[in-house]
């Protein structure tokens, strides 16, 4: 006979496993059901993140799980201390159960630490509950008679618990929606932080995960930057017991860089930094973003498909050797952070066309996250539209409140009513004017602009690129859009650059000469989708 009756032992095993599964997958729900039996409260098979919803309302079984875990851990631990024989597997179950108990005891403390105002040091300040945590750790995992096999280090466990809390909060608050595509995206981002095997991550990978780049792909406006922030702000950061502080703060952990917004001549200096005299305007040494992000940070390179070939080579060397040089210097510097890249371009097509290096792509794609379009999410779960609009409306109004530098906007209740009112106005307008089946070609970015347009003007006029004109080829359609003044300046230029590039035999330099602009401007700003439509028409002989 084991340490506990079979039913109680199965409950202990289930709770022990909960701490190591992806919280955004149905597996966690099944384990909760096994652990609680008749006390389990049905709550669905997936976490459906909604704006402003607290995690406690999603994990309705957590209080009962915490209570059950405390009782089972106390029973098993007491038996082992009294000398009852236990196999290695039984000791491992107790060890995992004890870790779950320890985490549950300090969940609210870690949450309070995470939400501390940055103006008062945030979580970069001194942690006031470390000593109490250490005493509980020793009681649960190091007491005489337990003889546990893993020999966990308390400072690594402490840092790991806080990383779990940061990762869950970052993913839950940034990736909104109850659809299956949104749920899969949250689960995928969790794996980008911890991999699919949390035990392996705890044993060794928490030290080396920064060496693995993450590539985020998906249509423009589908939330790639939100995914990057969730991953970049969830990297492992060690805890120093001597100072009772984490060794890096939140402001040092994530550095976003939009490559398409920078001239090619500036990208290299921004990434790698430069030394005094490296070029005409280099009047002093300057750190680049690779240097500034620090050992425990992440650099996000948005629009990686825009990189010039020469800089692609240098970035490949950074990934391969973890070293780089400032512009104008021969001194190698170490890069210890993580690289996160994103693109809405088809990198397979870019490689085939010779614009993106194969070796760089295969270095970047070891970990790949795909962001679904807004249309995919709403097709799976149309009722998500009000929730998504509410999330955007809340962001818009909260920013307005913060900009007022005071409580003049009103109370939290008044703000909530304002959010609900704006949400209702926008949803009503969308359903009346666009319909629930509107395709949202601009994805979440377009939905955001729709919310702002309806808030300010009472209406929203989608770009006509989303409407089909039967019988018209891309160039004829462009001419009609020009006649009707239906395009923004950026849309018009993008299509014109694409047309000039196609008429110049696919040569950026020739197109630039033809238009009187730098060839890199043509490359950076041409409308890739319009170019593909032109080429498709040519191949079809129309």
CATH (domain of 313): 3.40.50.300
Confirm if 303 and 175 have CB atoms less than 8 A apart: no
Confirm if 304 and 364 have CB atoms less than 8 A apart: yes
Q: Are residues 362 and 335 in the same domain?
A: yes
Confirm if 316 and 357 have CB atoms less than 8 A apart: yes
- Has residue 430 got a pLDDT over 80? yes
Q: Among the three residues 372, 388, 418, which one is the final residue of a domain in this structure?
A: 372
Q: Are residues 387 and 343 in the same domain?
A: no
Angle (CA) 273 275 279, round 5°: 95
Buried b (16+ CB within 10 A) or exposed e, 380-397: bbeebbbbbbbbbbbebb
User: Residue 35: what pLDDT?
Assistant: 94
> Using one digit for the tens of pLDDT, what is the confidence trace for 7-20?
899 999 999 999 99
Q: Are residues 288 and 181 in the same domain?
A: no
Confirm if 47 and 23 have CB atoms less than 8 A apart: yes
* Nearest by Cα to 399 from 450, 452, 447: 452
User: Residue 487: what pLDDT?
Assistant: 78
Q: Are residues 366 and 261 in the same domain?
A: yes
User: Residue 542: what pLDDT?
Assistant: 41
**End-to-end Cα spacing for the chain:** 80
Q: Are residues 161 and 278 in the same domain?
A: no
Task: Please tell me the distance from the alpha carbon of residue 385 to that of residue 383, in angstroms, as a whole number.
Answer: 5
Could you tell me the pLDDT band of residue 253, with boundaries at 50, 70 and 90?
confident
Domain of residue 457 covers 375-462
User: Residue 55: what pLDDT?
Assistant: 56
User: Residue 118: what pLDDT?
Assistant: 53
User: Residue 408: what pLDDT?
Assistant: 46
Number of domains making up the chain = 4
Q: Are residues 33 and 130 in the same domain?
A: yes
Q: Are residues 361 and 434 in the same domain?
A: no
User: Residue 407: what pLDDT?
Assistant: 43
Q: Are residues 149 and 234 in the same domain?
A: no
- Has residue 406 got a pLDDT over 60? no
Mean pLDDT of all residues in 140-168: 93
Q: Are residues 185 and 290 in the same domain?
A: no
Q: Are residues 48 and 150 in the same domain?
A: yes
**Domain-located, residue 255:** yes
> Using one digit for the tens of pLDDT, what is the confidence trace for 306-318?
888 889 999 999 9
**Domain-located, residue 329:** yes
> Using one digit for the tens of pLDDT, what is the confidence trace for 88-98?
999 999 999 99
Q: Are residues 257 and 152 in the same domain?
A: no
Return the sign of the alpha-carbon dihedral for residues 482, 486, 488, 493.
negative
User: Residue 367: what pLDDT?
Assistant: 95
Joined together, the tokens standing for residue 251 give: 């402001």
**Domain-located, residue 107:** yes
Could you tell me the pLDDT band of residue 267, with boundaries at 50, 70 and 90?
confident
Q: Among the three residues 417, 434, 462, which one is the final residue of a domain in this structure?
A: 462
CA separation, residue 205 to residues 192, 248, 319 (Å): 12, 19, 17
Q: Count Cβ atoms within 10 A of the Cβ of residue 56 and give its class: 0-12 exposed, 13-18 middle, 19 or more buried.
A: exposed
Joined together, the tokens standing for residue 119 give: 């103006």
**Domain-located, residue 215:** no
Maximum Cα interatomic distance, the chain, rounded to a whole number of Å: 88
Q: Is 437 helix (H, G, I), strand (E, B) or coil?
A: coil
> Using one digit for the tens of pLDDT, what is the confidence trace for 458-473?
999 887 544 444 455 7
**Domain-located, residue 253:** yes
Could you tell me the pLDDT band of residue 541, with boundaries at 50, 70 and 90?
very low
Task: Please tell me the distance from the alpha carbon of residue 517 to that of residue 457, in angstroms, as a whole number.
Answer: 36
Could you tell me the pLDDT band of residue 403, with boundaries at 50, 70 and 90?
very low
Q: In Å, how far from its chain's centre is CA 369? A: 9
> Using one digit for the tens of pLDDT, what is the confidence trace for 96-138?
999 999 999 999 999 888 887 554 445 667 899 999 999 999 9
Q: Are residues 367 and 399 in the same domain?
A: no
- Has residue 268 got a pLDDT over 50? yes
Return the sign of the alpha-carbon dihedral for residues 272, 274, 278, 282.
positive
Q: Among the three residues 207, 237, 267, which one is the final residue of a domain in this structure?
A: 207
- Has residue 323 got a pLDDT over 90? yes
- Has residue 404 got a pLDDT over 50? no
Q: Who has greater pLDDT, 185 or 475?
A: 185
Could you tell me the pLDDT band of residue 248, with boundaries at 50, 70 and 90?
confident
**Domain-located, residue 181:** yes
Paired residues of 118 in beta bridges: none
Confirm if 206 and 158 have CB atoms less than 8 A apart: no
Q: Is 213 helix (H, G, I), strand (E, B) or coil?
A: coil
> Using one digit for the tens of pLDDT, what is the confidence trace for 41-82?
887 666 665 555 555 566 788 999 999 999 999 999 999 999
Could you tell me the pLDDT band of residue 360, with boundaries at 50, 70 and 90?
very high
Task: Please tell me the distance from the alpha carbon of residue 467 to that of residue 26, in angstroms, as a whole number.
Answer: 39
Quote the DSSP letter at residue 49.
Answer: B
List, in sequence order, the alpha helices (H) in 430-463.
443-457
- Has residue 289 got a pLDDT over 50? yes
User: Residue 156: what pLDDT?
Assistant: 95
User: Residue 120: what pLDDT?
Assistant: 47
Q: In the chain, count of helices (H) and strands (E)? A: 24, 11
Quote the DSSP letter at residue 439.
Answer: -
Confirm if 221 and 442 have CB atoms less than 8 A apart: yes
Q: Is 240 helix (H, G, I), strand (E, B) or coil?
A: strand
- Has residue 450 got a pLDDT over 90? yes
- Has residue 214 got a pLDDT over 90? yes
- Has residue 203 got a pLDDT over 60? yes
- Whole-structure pTM value: 0.81
List, in sequence order, the alpha helices (H) in 273-323.
289-292, 309-321
User: Residue 263: what pLDDT?
Assistant: 78
Mean pLDDT of all residues in 323-348: 92
Task: Please tell me the distance from the alpha carbon of residue 203 to that of residue 194, in angstroms, as a whole number.
Answer: 11
**Domain-located, residue 219:** no
Paired residues of 331 in beta bridges: none
**Domain-located, residue 1:** no
Could you tell me the pLDDT band of residue 402, with boundaries at 50, 70 and 90?
very low
Task: Please tell me the distance from the alpha carbon of residue 118 to that of residue 489, in angstroms, as a whole number.
Answer: 40
């Amino acid at each position: 006979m084991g340490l506990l009756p079979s039913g109680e032992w199965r409950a202990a095993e289930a709770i022990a496993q909960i701490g190591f599964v992806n919280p955004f997958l149905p597996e966690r729900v099944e384990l909760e059901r096994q652990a609680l039996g008749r006390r389990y409260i049905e709550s669905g098979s997936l976490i459906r993140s909604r704006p402003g919803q607290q995690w406690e309302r999603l994990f309705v079984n957590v209080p009962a799980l915490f209570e059950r875990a405390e009782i089972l851990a106390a029973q098993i631990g007491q038996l082992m201390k009294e000398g009852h024989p236990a196999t290695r597997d039984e000791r491992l179950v107790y060890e995992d159960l004890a870790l779950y108990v320890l985490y549950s005891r300090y969940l609210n403390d870690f949450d309070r630490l995470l939400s501390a105002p940055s103006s008062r040091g945030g979580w970069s300040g001194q942690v006031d509950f470390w000593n109490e945590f250490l005493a509980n750790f020793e009681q649960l995992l190091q007491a005489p008679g337990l003889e546990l096999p893993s020999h966990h280090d308390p400072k690594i466990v402490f840092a790991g618990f806080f990383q779990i809390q940061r990762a869950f909060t970052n993913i839950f608050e940034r990736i909104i929606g109850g659809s299956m595509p949104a749920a899969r995206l949250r689960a995928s981002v969790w794996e980008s932080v911890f991999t699919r095997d949390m035990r392996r991550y705890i044993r060794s990978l928490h030290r080396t995960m920064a060496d693995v780049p993450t590539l985020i792909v998906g249509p423009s406006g589908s939330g790639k930057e939100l995914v990057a922030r969730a991953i970049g702000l969830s990297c492992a950061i060690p805890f120093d017991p001597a100072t009772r502080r984490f060794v890096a703060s939140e402001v040092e952990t994530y550095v976003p860089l939009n490559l398409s917004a920078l001239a090619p001549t500036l990208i290299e200096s921004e990434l790698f930094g430069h030394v005094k005299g490296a070029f005409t305007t280099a009047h002093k040494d300057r750190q680049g973003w690779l240097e500034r992000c620090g050992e425990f940070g992440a650099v996000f390179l948005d629009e990686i498909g825009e990189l010039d070939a020469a800089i692609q080579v240098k970035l490949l060397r950074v990934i391969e050797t973890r070293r780089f040089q400032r512009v104008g210097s021969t001194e190698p510097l170490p890069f210890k952070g993580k690289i996160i890249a994103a693109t809405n371009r088809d990198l397979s097509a870019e490689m085939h066309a010779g614009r993106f290096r194969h070796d760089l792509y295969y270095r970047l794609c070891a970990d790949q996250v795909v962001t679904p379009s807004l249309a995919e999410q709403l097709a799976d779960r149309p009722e998500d539209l009000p929730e998504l609009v509410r999330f955007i409306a809340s962001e818009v109004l909260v920013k307005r409140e913060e900009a007022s530098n005071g409580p003049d906007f009103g109370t939290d209740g008044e703000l909530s009513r304002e959010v609900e009112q704006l949400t209702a106005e926008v949803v009503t307008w969308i359903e009346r004017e666009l319909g629930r089946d509107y395709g949202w070609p601009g994805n979440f970015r377009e939905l955001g602009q729709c919310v702002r347009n309806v808030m300010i003007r009472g209406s929203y006029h989608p770009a006509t690129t989303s409407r089909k004109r039967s019988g018209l080829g891309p160039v004829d359609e462009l001419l009609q859009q020009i006649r009707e003044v239906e395009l923004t300046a950026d849309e018009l230029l993008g299509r014109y650059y694409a047309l000039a590039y196609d008429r110049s035999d696919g040569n950026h330099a020739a197109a630039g000469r033809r238009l009187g602009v730098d060839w890199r401007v043509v490359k950076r700003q041409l409308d890739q989708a319009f170019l593909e439509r032109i080429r498709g028409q040519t191949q079809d002989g129309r």
